[in-house]
C-alpha cells in the first residue's frame, strides 16, 4: 500500500508539470481555436532566458519565477504578433504548421544560445523532506504541486469572475457577437498567448528545479498534450485535471508494468476517452445547426 501511495504522489508531481503546460494549451485554444504545438518549446526558451537573467543577478527562486512570468508574457505577445496574427482568417492547417515550425526553430535556438549542457536549478527547498503519512516528497516536489494548484485556481477564477476572462469566454463562444458588443477580440487573443507563455515559463522553472535545465526539456509538451485533450482543450481547469490523471496513470504503469509505458500511457488514455467523448472530459460539445 505504501508503494502504491508513493507512486500516486510521484504521478501527481509529474502531473503538476504536465498540467501547467496543458493549461497553456487550453488557454490559447479556448480563446483562439489554435493548437500551439510549440508550447513545450516556449516553456524551454522562457526558462533558459529566465535562468540566464537569474544567474546574472543571483536571483532567488521567487525572483526567478517573476522573471519567467514577465519574460514569458512578453515573449508570448511577440510570438502572437509576429507569427500567429498574420495567419488569422486562414484555415487551421497553415496556422498549425506555423506553430510546428516555431517549435523547431526554438528547439534549435536554445543550443545555439546556451549550449547543450544540462544542470538543475539549485534552491534551499531541494534539501527539505516532507512526510505525509507513508508518502515522502522533497521540497521542490511540494513546491511544484503548490504552484500547480495556485495556477489552476487562478486560471479558473480568471475565466469565471474577471471581466477580461469573461470577455475571452464570450469571444471563444461567438466571435462575431463579441465583436458586435465592442470586444477587441484580437487583443484578447494576444493576451491568451501572453498568459499561456507565462504559465509555461512557470512550468519550466518547476521542471528545472525537480529534474534539470536541459535542451531536450521541450518533450514535456508531448506529455502535456494528451492531458489537455483528456480534460478538454477548451477547458483550462479540465486540462489541469487531465494532467493529474495522466501523471498518476503514467507513474502506476511504470511502477507495476514496465518502464516503456510511462511515455505512451497518456496517449493510450486519450485514444480510449476520445472514442467516447471526442471533446474531452470537460470540453464543451459543439453543436451544429442545419
| 285 pLDDT higher than 80 | no
Residues 6+ apart with CB under 8 A from 161: none
For residues 18 and 47, the answer to whether their CB atoms sit within 8 Å is no
For residues 61 and 206, the answer to whether their CB atoms sit within 8 Å is no
pLDDT band at 290 (very low <50, low <70, confident <90, very high): very low
pLDDT value at residue 287: 41
pLDDT band at 30 (very low <50, low <70, confident <90, very high): confident
Q: Could you give the 3-state DSSP secondary structure of residue 91?
A: coil
Residues 6+ apart with CB under 8 A from 210: 13, 17, 138, 140, 141, 144
pLDDT value at residue 271: 79
Averaged confidence pLDDT in the chain: 87
Residues 193-224 have pLDDT tens digits of 999 999 999 999 999 999 989 999 998 888 88
Phi, psi values for residue 229, rounded to 5°: -65, -45
Residues 233-265 have pLDDT tens digits of 888 888 999 899 888 888 888 887 766 677 777
| 53 pLDDT higher than 90 | yes
Size of the chain, expressed as the number of residues it contains: 290
The count of C-alpha atoms lying within 13 angstroms of the C-alpha of 74, restricted to the half-sphere facing its C-beta, is: 8
| Percent of the residues in the chain that have a pLDDT greater than 90, as a whole number | 42
pLDDT value at residue 206: 94
Which residues pair with residue 138 across a beta bridge? Answer: 129
pLDDT value at residue 233: 84
Per-state percent for the chain, helix, strand, coil, to nearest 5: 75, 5, 20
| 43 pLDDT higher than 80 | yes
Q: Could you give the 3-state DSSP secondary structure of residue 183?
A: coil
Comparing C-alpha atoms, which of 266, 215, 285 is closest to residue 11? 266
| 189 pLDDT higher than 70 | yes
What H or E segment, with its residue span, contains residue 58? Answer: none
Least confident among 65-69, 147-151, 282-286: 282-286
| 288 pLDDT higher than 60 | no
For residues 73 and 90, the answer to whether their CB atoms sit within 8 Å is no
Q: Which domains occur in the chain, in start order? A: 2-274 (1.10.3470)
CA 2 remoteness from chain centre: 30
Sequential DSSP letters for 102-138: HHHHHHHHHHHHH-S--BPPP-GGGG-EEEETTEEEE
Task: Give first-to-last CA distance, the chain, whole Å.
Answer: 54
For residues 262 and 251, the answer to whether their CB atoms sit within 8 Å is yes
| DSSP code at position 279 | T
What cell does 251 get? 507513474
Which residues pair with residue 13 across a beta bridge? Answer: none
Amino acid at each position: 500500500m505504501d508503494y502504491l501511495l508513493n507512486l500516486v504522489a510521484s504521478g501527481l508531481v509529474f502531473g503538476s508539470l504536465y498540467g501547467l503546460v496543458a493549461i497553456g494549451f487550453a488557454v490559447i485554444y479556448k480563446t483562439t481555436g489554435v493548437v500551439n504545438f510549440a508550447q513545450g518549446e516556449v516553456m524551454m526558451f522562457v526558462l533558459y532566458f529566465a535562468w540566464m537573467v537569474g544567474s546574472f543577478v543571483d536571483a532567488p527562486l521567487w525572483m526567478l519565477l517573476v522573471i519567467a512570468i514577465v519574460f514569458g508574457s512578453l515573449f508570448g505577445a511577440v510570438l502572437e504578433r509576429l507569427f500567429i496574427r498574420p495567419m488569422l482568417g486562414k484555415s487551421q492547417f497553415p496556422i498549425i504548421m506555423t506553430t510546428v515550425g516555431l517549435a523547431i526553430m526554438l528547439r534549435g535556438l536554445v543550443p545555439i544560445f546556451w549550449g547543450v549542457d544540462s544542470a538543475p536549478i539549485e534552491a534551499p527547498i531541494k534539501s527539505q523532506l516532507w512526510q505525509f503519512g507513508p508518502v515522502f516528497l522533497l521540497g521542490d516536489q511540494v513546491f511544484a504541486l503548490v504552484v500547480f494548484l495556485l495556477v489552476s485556481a487562478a486560471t479558473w477564477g480568471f475565466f469565471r469572475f474577471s471581466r477580461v476572462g469573461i470577455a475571452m469566454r464570450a469571444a471563444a463562444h461567438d466571435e462575431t457577437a463579441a465583436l458586435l458588443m465592442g470586444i477587441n477580440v484580437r487583443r484578447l487573443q494576444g493576451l491568451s498567448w501572453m498568459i499561456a507563455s507565462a504559465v509555461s515559463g512557470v512550468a519550466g522553472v518547476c521542471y528545472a528545479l525537480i529534474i534539470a535545465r536541459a535542451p531536450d526539456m521541450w518533450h514535456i509538451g508531448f506529455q502535456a498534450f494528451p492531458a489537455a485533450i483528456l480534460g478538454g482543450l477548451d477547458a483550462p481547469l479540465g486540462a489541469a485535471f487531465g494532467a493529474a490523471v495522466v501523471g498518476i496513470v503514467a507513474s502506476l504503469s511504470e511502477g507495476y508494468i514496465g518502464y516503456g509505458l510511462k511515455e505512451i500511457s497518456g496517449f493510450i488514455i486519450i485514444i480510449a476517452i476520445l472514442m467516447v467523448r471526442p471533446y474531452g472530459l470537460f470540453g464543451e460539445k459543439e453543436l451544429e445547426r442545419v
